[in-house]
Amino acid sequence: MMKIEDIVEDVVLLVLSEHEPLKELGITQNKLFAKVVGYNENGVWIENPDFRISDHNKKNNSKAFKTVTASILIAWTYILSIVHFPNVEGFDFPSPFNQNIGFDLEN
Categorize the per-residue pLDDT at 99 as very low, low, confident or very high, splitting at 50, 70 and 90: very low
Please tell me the distance from the alpha carbon of residue 29 to that of residue 31, in angstroms, as a whole number. Answer: 5
Report which of 67, 75, 68, 99 is spatially closest to residue 14, judged by C-alpha positions: 75
Note the pTM of the prediction, 2 decimals: 0.76
pLDDT in tens, 52-97: 888 777 666 667 788 889 999 999 999 999 999 888 877 765 544 4
CATH architecture of 4-84: Roll (2.30)
